[in-house]
Structure 1
Amino acid sequence: MKLHRLVLKNYRGIDYREIDFPDHGVVVVSGANEVGKSSMVEALDLLLESKDRSTKKEVKQVKPTHADVGSEITAEISAGAYRFIYRKRFHKKPETQLTVLEPRREQHSGDEAHDRVQAMLAETVDTELWHAQRVLQSASTDAVNLSGCDALTRALDVAAGDAAALSGTEPLLIERIDAEFARYFTPTGRPTGEWAVAIKALEAANQEVERCAAAVAEVDDRVQRHAALTVELAEITGQQGAAATRQTAARAAADAIARLTEQVREAELIAAAATATSAASTAAHTERTRLRSESDSRTAAVVALEEEAREATEAQAVAREVTVEADAAVERADQSLVAAQRRAETARGQVDDLARRDETQRLTTRLAKIDAALSGRDEVAKELSMITVTDDLLRQIEQHAAAVDRTEGQLALVSATVEFVAAADIELVVGSQRVTLPAGDSWSTVANAETDIEIAGVVTARVTPGASALEVQEKHAAAQEKLTAALAAAQAVDLESARQADRRRRELQSTRAQLTATLAGLSGDDDIDKLRSRLAELQALPAVSDDIDAGAARAELLEAVAARAQAEVDCDTHRKVAALAMNKLNEITAQVTRADDKLVTQRAELVTVAGRLAEQRAAVSDEQLTAAVEADATAARAAAGRVAELSEELAAKAPEIVAAELTDAVEAVAALRQRHDEAERMLHEIAAQLAVFGTEGRKGKLDAAEIDAEHARGEHDRVGRRARAVQLLRDVMTRHRDATRLRYVEPFRAELERLGKPVFGPSFEVDIDTDLCILNRTLDGRTVPYESLSGGAKEQLGILARLAGAALVAKEDAVPILIDDALGFTDPERLVKMAAVFDTLGEHGQVIVLTCTPARYDGVKDARRIELCA
């Protein structure tokens, strides 16, 4: 297969592009990023593989976004004996056209054209090789797998010496074996198709046999269970009588325990009442004792609080005198601080006036310099605006002047020179020019145009220059006309005056730049208008006398500030002392208040306690209360003794054991009743189930399932024998194919090493697996796995592997090698060596290189170079 021509129209961002490719050799197609180099490979795939009405994502993405038009792709391709021109338009008004040029002319359109191209390519092109012989920018370092390329396989078989043993039907036989294998197994060896159906059918039949056998076993189990339940129900009926007798005896013992428990409860109520009465009298006696103690303690507290209140009142009077004196000191310190602040403000105002005077002087001087620089820059700008010469215009004038000089020189070389020597005094008329020649003088002219020469009354001559002179004259006149126009645009007389104007323009531009820098330095970050406004504000303020001594003013300001600071410290100190005195007065006042409050409270509480004690004594005297406490305690002890006697009697009858016995008896009766009811229910259910089972014919179903299982087992064995046979055949063929691949690995490895030694050196070796993938590389005796190699080495080996495949395949099986912006990881020295390999292969095949860095392939001597423009 060869690509002769590719035309893209309205494809992504490409409006129109047409490229012709030579039949063999290296073609370097270069262009900037996003100019559409990779789009060429993509377009070729869409043309060959997608229909014009396709709605696939890959087709939609190539539609131009700036216009509502269809993308068109045209290619002229040779494949085997065929040579054809193939065109498709996608998206808008889709169309497909095919013109077959060789071996006989054909024309097709639409799906018929698409199918015809697919048929020609299937007949003549190894598509696996076509896709494998590409080095894409996104996968330039990936290992290439050439094992699926039939064209390379045939070439390697021949190279390995197996050509005589080949019949041409080996791939077809393997495909038929694989197809037969696929009837029974998946690619991973799992059963599928007929074999999977037979396996599942046998499993289903076995499961049905198991289900039917389980159903028959279920009937047997129900019969046995019915007999066992009948015996169990008779036993439970006998046990229920004994359990009822036990329950009656246990209930009588429990009733006796209940009566004795009631007597204990009544005795406990009586004892509780006596205990409560005793506790009440004891509490009343305890309260009487507490009130007496509280009355005595509160009387002593009132006396102590009266003494504390007197001492706090005396301390309050002393603190109040201290506070008055501290407030007076604060007032005096405030007056001193006010005087010091006035002195400091006066000194500060005088220093500010001096600073304002200095700022006014600085601003005046600064603005004068700024105005001078602005005036100078305006004058330079005015003069610069009058000069019309620019760099481009001067360059045009110089180019046109050089063209005039060049054409003048050429004109002098090709024009004839006519010289006249006067033998006597004569007068010549040359065109519109009249020349007088005295005897013996000479005059000459260059005839670069048709010129009439007349000697009045003697002769008229016409000098006509040759065609080359006329052509040079026309170029000279055109150059002179362009020079005149350029000089007029520059307002210059000649080239020298234009250069003088340009020099003056550059001087003025330099001066303007200096003045601009001066202005920037003078103004800094300040706005000039704001500086003028500030100066006006300063000048509007009252003038400052020059007699003021700046040093004395600053010294007075320092002394005044220091005096104010000291006054502030003194004032702050007196305020703190006054605050402490006030805090102390407030604290003592609070103490006085608290002491008075406590005294009032204690007196009131003393009155309350004394009143309560008097009330209680009026009701019951202290002696009567003591006697009542003793009597109530005796009654409580007697009631507690009665409770103890009854409790001992109840404990002797073991109420817990009696209650447990009653509970066990009741539970035993209930359990037997439940077992009896459950046995009767289950017996009834089993009888009903056996009646239903008798109508289902489970034994007959089991016999039918066993017959079906035997049939499924026979089908399973029959299909299994065929499946195992094809599996064995495939294993044998695969083993022989792998052995064959091992033989043709050596020719591929030899060709790869032959191409790689000029790049990597004479010690270069590679190890290849049966899929023709590079496993490792050896240099100078050091072996490195492929995956551990650098990106540049992987990229170089990938290209060399494709070149080796292209060199081995037969001429009629060759396909173009497409390299999209590869060798980006390769150093300059290796680039030169790789270029030599490209030259070697380019003599026989077609190599198309797409790159944005054409300098990488400068070493490819015989390459044809095509540069793409945006």
Structure 2
Amino acid sequence: MRLHRLVLTNYRGIGHREIEFPDHGVVVVSGANEVGKTSMIEALDLLIEAKDRSTKKEVKAVKPTHADVGAEVEAEISTGPYRFIYRKRFHKRCETTLTVLAPRREQLTGDEAHERVQAMLAETVDTELWQAQRVLQSASTAPVDLSGCDALSRALDVAAGAADNSAETALSGTEPLLVDRVEAEYLTYFTRTGRPTGEWAAATNRLRAAEAEVARCAAAVAEVDEAVRRHAELTAQLRELDAEHEQARDRLSVATAAADAVAELKAQLRQAEIVARAAEATRAASREKLDERRRLRADIDEKTAAIAELETEVADADEQLAVAREVAAEAAAAAEGARAALDAARVREDAARRTVDQLAAREEADQISGRIARITATQRELGEIEGGLAGIALTEDDLRGIEAAKAAVDVASAQADLMSTHLELTAVADAELRVDGQPLALSAGQSWSASVSAGTDIEVPGLLTVRLVPGASAEETHARLVEAQRVLADALERAGVADVSAARELYARRQELLAARDRLTTKLETLLGDDTLDRLRTRLAELTARQPAEADLFGLDPDTARGELEAATTARQQATADCETSRRLAEAAEKQLNERQTRVTVLNEKLAGMRRQLTEAQDRLAQARQSLPDDELALQAARQDEEADRAAQLVAHLTAELAAREPESVAAELDAAKQSEQALRRRHDEVAEAVREIGTRLKVYGTEGRKSQLDAAETELAHARAEFGRVERRARAAKLLHSVLTRHRDATRLRYVEPFRAEVERLGRMVFGDTFEVEVDSDLRICSRTLDGCTVPYESLSGGAKEQLGIIARLASAALVAKEDSVPVVIDDALGFTDPDRLTKMGAVFNAVGGDGQVIVLTCSPQRYAAVDGAHHIQLSA
């Protein structure tokens, strides 16, 4: 199979791309990332495998997003005796066309074309090899699987057959029939994975079922024996539990009596504690009243002394407040004078600044006025040029069309002259002729000639008529000339010119006007900058409106105006500083006045509050003494102390008596007696229930006939074992014979793999050196690599080594398969993990194999393949 040409139209982001591939050798297709290199492989697969109406997600994914059109793929392919052009359009107006160029021409469309291509490929191409001979960008380090490639198998069969003949291996001719019969016999007893099946599985299952039934029946008989034994044990245990339960009831009665006595003593203690707490509360209340009476007397004395001190502080604060009022009034007057001076300085500064601003506005207005004049003149010139361009309809595309039409006319004219018949007439005497109806007069000896490319009539009036008919080729060239002249005339008419020279002159004039327009446009953009003409005019109007009505202002010197502004600014700054100083002094004086006013107010309020508190304390003391004098209060407190002490002594006596009885031990004994009695009662009930249940089960067991069932199961087990033994002997014999033949067949397949391993090692030594060896399994997968005696499994190799071995394996298979079975090797952006030295050596591998087949390399880094001699390079652009 060879890929000669691939055309993509509206495919993903590709508008149109056509690539022609050489029939042999290495072709490197390079381009930037996302330019659509991998899409070429995808497009070829969709062309071959998917129908034009397919709704698979792979087909939907290639629909262009920038336009509502269908993706198109076209390829020219040769395979076996066939060479054909195959095209499909997906998504919109679906279409499939096939043109078979060899061995005989055919044209098909639709599903017939799709099925015809599938038939040709199935006949001539090993599809498994076509899929395996690809190094894809997404799986460049994955091991190559060549086990299903029939073309490679045929090639290895030839190589292995040659080796076997050289070894003079004698074959009887009956080996395949024997293997098939052994395989059939083996499959009657085992599955292909070695699991039992058929008669062998049935015998095994019967034996297992019989063994399980014997075990079940034996367990049932044993269950009856166990129930009888358990019934006897539980009956004896029930008698023992009756005696233990009676002892537990006696113990519980003694423990209950002791617990009742302890409970009575606890009740007396609780009553005594209540009386003691009441007496203690009464004593605490009396002591609190006595302490409160003492605190009132001390508080009255303390507040009287504090009031005297506060009256002295209030007098001093009043004097300081009067002084602060005088200082604050003087500071406020000074601040007011400083503010007046600052206002005058600001007025002077504002007047000076207005004068300077008006002078600056006048200068800006003059500049903008001149700029507007230049812009207006430029726009006027630009308008004149635009008018000239509007009158010229000829474009660059029109001129190219005219030039192309003129060249076509010249070519057609030359071809017509070459292919037409040349007619030459010479008059012997004066003669009147008619050529195609047009009169022609010839004098004696005069000659006339013309080229005849169409049917021409020559008439000698009254004598004869001659018709010249040129050949078909001359008529065709004449028709092409007429058509080319018509196309040229139409192009000249559309451009509005008389001939080609006029078109060229008109286009040259248009180019001059375009250059002038560009120059003026640049000049206009420079004059405008970031502004527009309307904004400039608006700004000029604003500046003009701001000019003063007085004419004397424009006679001022700008430097003098700026000097006055600087002096006014300096005066204003000094006045601001003086005003700020006076303001801070006034604020400080006001703050001091407020602080002293606040202090006087606080002291007066504190004095008034203290006097109220003294009056309240004196009133509370008088009321307390009126209800109970101080002496009687002291006597009452002493009596309540004695009552509280007596109640505490009674509580201590009852607590000691309760401790002597050890209430915790009594409670623990009662709990233990209760738990023991309850446990024995529950155990007695459980055992009695178990005895009743086992008795019921024994009655049921007696009706089931379990012993007879066990005898029947043992008889069936004996029959199943005999049958199992017979089938087992036959199954093991079939398995042994099958394993022996399989072992010999695997040994033969290892010889079959040897040619592939030798080719891989031949190519690999160009890259890895003379010590390179590989181990290849029976499925043609590389299992390990050996260098300098060191063996490394394939999965443990680096990404670069895996890539290189994958490419070498595919090139080895390409070198082994027959020429008629070969397919293109496609390498998509590989060798990205390879160092420069290995890249050079990989180039030698491509040189050794690439010339015999077709190797297509897709890459974004073509320099990786610089070492490949004679590679054909194709550069893709976005």
The alpha-carbon distance between structure 1 residues 628 and 30, as it changes in their structure 2 partners (threshold 3 A), is closer
Query: 1:619-642 CA distances to partner (integer Å, 9 max, x unpaired)?
Result: 332222223322332333333334
Q: CA RMSD in A?
A: 6.3
Q: 145, 151, 154: which one pairs with 1:151?
A: 154
How far 1:547 moved relative to its partner? Answer: 1.3
**Is the Cα–Cα contact under 8 Å of residues 209 and 705 in structure 1 kept in the other structure?**
yes
Match of 2:821, as an amino acid? V
606-615 or 211-220, which deviates more: 211-220
Structure 1 residue 160 and structure 2 residue 168: aligned?
no
Letter in 1 for 2:164: G
Which amino acid letter does the alignment assign opposite residue 739 of structure 1?
A: A
Counterpart selection for 1:323 from 328, 341, 358: 328
Aligned to 1:681: 689
2:301 pairs, out of 287, 291, 296, with: 296
CA distance in 2, matches of 1:502, 1:550: 57
Q: In terms of mean alpha carbon deviation, does 518-527 or 724-733 score higher?
A: 724-733
1:352-403 deviation line (CA, Å, top 9, x unaligned) = 1011101101101211221222222233333444556654555566677778
1:524 equivalent in alignment to 2:532: no
Aligned length: 806
Indicate if the aligned counterparts of 2:3 and 2:77 stay in contact, CA closer than 8 A. Answer: yes
Task: Tell me the equivalent position of 2:460.
Answer: none
CA deviations on 1:239-271 (whole Å, 9 max, x unpaired) are 333333333333344444444444444444444
Larger mean CA deviation between 481-490 and 297-306 belongs to 481-490
Give CA deviations for 1:767-793 in whole Å, capped at 9, x if unaligned: 351333346789999999686446874
The whole-number CA distance in structure 1 between the counterparts of 2:87 and 2:344 is: 106
SS at 1:542's partner residue?
Answer: coil
Which one is further off, 24-33 or 195-204? 24-33
Output aligned runs, 1:55-66, within 5 Å: none
Deviation at 1:296, TM superposition (A): 1.6
Cα gap change, 1:72 to 1:211, in 2 (>3 Å):
farther
Which of 524-533 and 197-206 deviates more? 197-206
Q: Please report how far the alpha carbon of residue 334 of structure 1 lies from its aligned counterpart in structure 2 after TM superposition.
A: 2.4
What is the CA–CA distance in structure 2 between the aligned matches of 1:358 and 1:498, rounded to whole Å?
A: 53
**Which residue matches 1:662?**
670
- Identify the match of residue 803 of structure 1 among 796, 808, 814: 814
Q: Matches of 2:503 and 2:648 in 1, distance apart?
A: 142
Partners of 2:490 and 2:369 in 1: CA distance: 52
1:527 alignment partner AA: T
* Equivalent of 2:568 in 542, 560, 566: 560
- For 1:366-765, what aligned pairs fall within 5 Å after superposition? 366-386=371-391, 390-392=395-397, 454-455=442-443, 459=444, 461-465=446-450, 501-542=506-547, 545-713=553-721, 717=725, 720-721=728-729, 724-751=732-759
Q: Measure how far apart 1:464 and its partner are.
A: 3.3
Post-superposition offset of 1:747:
2.6
For 1:199-238, list aligned pairs within 5 A: 202-203=207-208, 205-238=210-243
Q: Distance in 2 between matches of 1:298 and 1:607?
A: 10
| 1:692-719 deviation per Cα after TM superposition (whole angstroms, max 9, x unaligned) | 2333333344444444555555555555
Distance 1:58 1:491, change over 3 A: closer
Query: 2:666 corresponds to which letter in structure 1?
Result: V
Contact 2:389 2:510 in 1 (8 A): yes
1:815 aligns with 2:821: yes
* TM-score when normalising by structure 1: 0.73
Q: Which AA in structure 2 matches 1:154?
A: D
User: For the structure 1 residues 767 and 304, does the alpha-carbon distance in structure 2 shift closer, same or farther, using more than 3 Å as the test?
Assistant: same
Greater Cα offset, 134-143 or 545-554:
134-143
Q: Distance in 1 between matches of 2:718 and 2:751?
A: 50
Alignment of 1:95-244 (within 5 A): 132=132, 143-149=143-149, 150-162=153-165, 165=170, 202-203=207-208, 205-244=210-249
Partner residue in 1 for 2:776: 769
Q: Deviation at 1:168?
A: 7.4
Does structure 2 conserve the Cα–Cα contact (< 8 Å) formed by 1:285 and 1:626?
Answer: yes
* Residues 815-854 of structure 1 deviation map (CA, whole Å, 9 limit, x = unaligned): 352445768769899779847745545xxxxx6979899x
Residue of 338, 357, 362 corresponding to 2:367? 362
Following superposition, the deviation at residue 573 of structure 1 comes to 3.7
Amino acid at match of 1:307: T
Counterpart residue identity of residue 219, structure 1 = V
CA distance, structure 2, for counterparts of residue 352 and residue 594 of structure 1: 58
| Comparing 260-269 and 373-382, the one that deviates more | 260-269
1:790–1:350: structure 2 CA closer, same or farther, 3 Å change rule? farther
Residues 836 and 492 of structure 1: is their aligned pair in 2 closer, same or farther, counting only changes over 3 Å? farther
- State the alpha-carbon separation in 2 of the partners of residues 540 and 348 from structure 1: 18
Whole-angstrom CA distance in 1 between matches of 2:88 and 2:665:
107
Separation of aligned partners in 2, 1:487 and 1:84 = 42
- Secondary structure in structure 1 of the residue aligned to 2:224: helix
Corresponding letter in the other structure for 1:742: L
Structure-2 residue corresponding to 1:844? none
**Amino acid across the alignment from 1:314:** E
Q: Distance in 1 between matches of 2:414 and 2:86?
A: 56
Letter in 1 for 2:147: S
Q: Tell me, yes or no, if the aligned pair for 2:140 and 2:830 is still in contact at 8 Å.
A: no
What is the CA–CA distance in structure 1 between the aligned matches of 2:416 and 2:84, rounded to whole Å?
A: 55
Q: Which blocks of at least 5 consecutive residues in structure 2 are unaligned?
A: 104-110, 455-469, 833-838
User: What do residues 475-515 of structure 1 show as CA deviations (whole Å, max 9, x unaligned)?
Assistant: 99998888787777767787766655544443333222222
Deviation digits for residues 638-665 of structure 1, max 9, x if unmatched?
A: 3333443344344334343334333433
* Distance across 1 between alignment mates of 2:732 and 2:154: 32
Distance 1:674 1:114, change over 3 A: same
CA distance in 2 between counterparts of 1:717 and 1:296 reads 124
Distance 2:5 2:412 in 1: 44
**Within 1, Cα distance between the matches of 2:283 and 2:334?**
74
Q: Distance in 1 between matches of 2:6 and 2:529?
A: 62
**1:423 — aligned with what?**
none
CA separation of 1:36 and 1:590: change in aligned 2, threshold 3 A: same
Bigger shift: 340-349 or 620-629? Answer: 620-629
Cα distance between partner residues in 2 of 1:431 and 1:350: 104
C-alpha separation between the residues in 1 aligned to 2:739 and 2:798?
31
Q: Residue 597 of structure 2 aligns to which amino acid in structure 1?
A: T
Distance (Å, rounded) in 2 between the aligned partners of 1:401 and 1:123: 51
TM-score in terms of structure 2 length: 0.72
2:774 match: secondary structure: strand
CA deviation vs aligned residue, 1:526-553 (integer Å, no higher than 9, x gap): 1112112221332344356431121122
Distance (whole Å) between structure 1 residues aligned to residue 88 and residue 513 of structure 2? 64
Q: 1:444: which partner in 2?
A: none
5+ residue gaps in structure 1? Answer: 103-109, 421-426, 433-449, 842-846
Q: Structure 1 stretch 521-530 or stretch 699-708: which is displaced more?
A: 699-708
Q: Distance in 2 between matches of 1:509 and 1:473?
A: 41
Query: Residues 559-590 of structure 1: CA distance to partner in whole angstroms, max 9, x if unpaired?
Result: 32333333334334433443343343333333
